[in-house]
Structure 1
């Protein structure tokens, strides 16, 4: 996407001095233990025509930038075979690389397609990554949206709900340290801390969504909900609010602290018309491969954005929309993504900065006091100066 008139904020500037004070428009969130209303995370798509190696280096740089801006967490998507035009077939490997260039920001999967993997292998990789990162892994698991991935792994998508339930139960047991064989051997390194930071993405099936959320709550897992939208299989914000309420009641009833992560598409920009122009190439790109599934190919850009529930424009307008979102009343983790389409690197930096400095504070969020901690020695791949 083209660079906007405001221009991207250089990375070096994001670490220097406190962000400007922004008056709260309307706080959202259920509150988190550190006293803030919610934690702020960003979801990273790697949908681009860049070479995979270049996309991975950019991902590292974006996490470094987000850490300096005070983001609490960053999450990467999981896709096999470039499904969804993504480059991330192995998110835990990518997060391990990111871990070596950051010190504070939490590292999440949004979400790992668990039923297509061996839960024991996932647990081993997750435990090693958690050790490498200093206990920063947030492991989100789900069943994945692409039937052809199930075909490739020799499994039937018709069995996805049963296989997911079996896989997540097995993952729980392994992370909790139960023996994995007749010799009594257990996971090493231990996974007890990862177990406490496990999240489940609920199914979009309306007949199963509440039950799945309640099961996650009773297990002590966090709840992950994707973006609301007016597409087949996508939940409305009102429906998500009902799911969150059921989850919250079940978690508190079971004695667990509720953890609710909800994703929303935002594109802060002082000029909404310019923002629409900026996302148009991304919308057209998404329409080119998603039209068959989403019946979106014939829509103009503004109609697409409306059905996609993407929020574009001045931060104040976006904050008002988010504050009115019924699903966000009990959120503990707000996950922002800059879609449809994926911005180029410089625009991505601008969006990260605008969200952290101009948008999220309007909703009551602020970085933790130590959030300005500089990243480890980092060799930038995009000409970004180290701190």
Structure 2
């Protein structure tokens, strides 16, 4: 299986399965000389960790990270950084009823058609469990970006199902399980999720991610555009079905006189472009929006087929997020950090 590595100069390779002994990542290209410890990484993993509220999967994983290589006496050496996260709370028996059937909305069918074999335990390689190594690698990139360039990456949920979440303050985001930037709306979100969980159904959401402090000039024209690489990375996140930059799809109804960001002696007068022009950063805040589909694993019976192509009814048991987007914010932040660090190193290599 190829396609498990993200980046060019800062390269992250993700490995493992949901119910295997461990998952992890290998980071190649991290510059030497940066102080790095497990604590730097663990703080980000704890934000993504399952079982932290009643609104997410109750799988109890500590997600404790181990640094296996690439760090000596607390300093990166420039050699590959090996990160390991052991699986400790897998319940494979929950998936015995779907070993020969395909769950609607999942990768079961496509994995089987491509490889002729699949690991049904928790989705195997297609599980959102594999986002933990991404967050771990992203923590390394985040620290380097802040230390070297003062880049700050933040994210929040801007819509849960039919409920828009008006932005009030970044201070509210770490204070609730939804990463909502609005404390007043949290009781409504909790009531909505309680009803959804009672129904055995799921819902989608919208996530917004920003990066501030970028200099102008990161990115490559045509095929390695900064926004193209961001979209590529974000579409690698489980359940993402749409990515937009800046005004995104709203630009369809906008006129050129409105959308094109005018400039003055003090800089840009708007940011409909989302911080990227011609695939290169403009120095404005980078704005990325993600549309995340409803969780495919639900208790409601759905029609499908088995490996003999016979019609069956499928009910997914086990522990699942009724809205996978609730834990997606730190993952999206990590992916953005990985792409930005890669482009920062590429810019340094070409332009000094």
Q: TM-score, normalising length from structure 2?
A: 0.26
Name the structure where strand makes up a greater proportion of residues. 2
Structure number with higher relative contact order (C-alpha < 8 Å, ≥ 6 residues apart): 1
Question: Based on CA coordinates, which of the two structures has the bigger radius of gyration?
Answer: 2
Name the structure where helix makes up a greater proportion of residues. 1
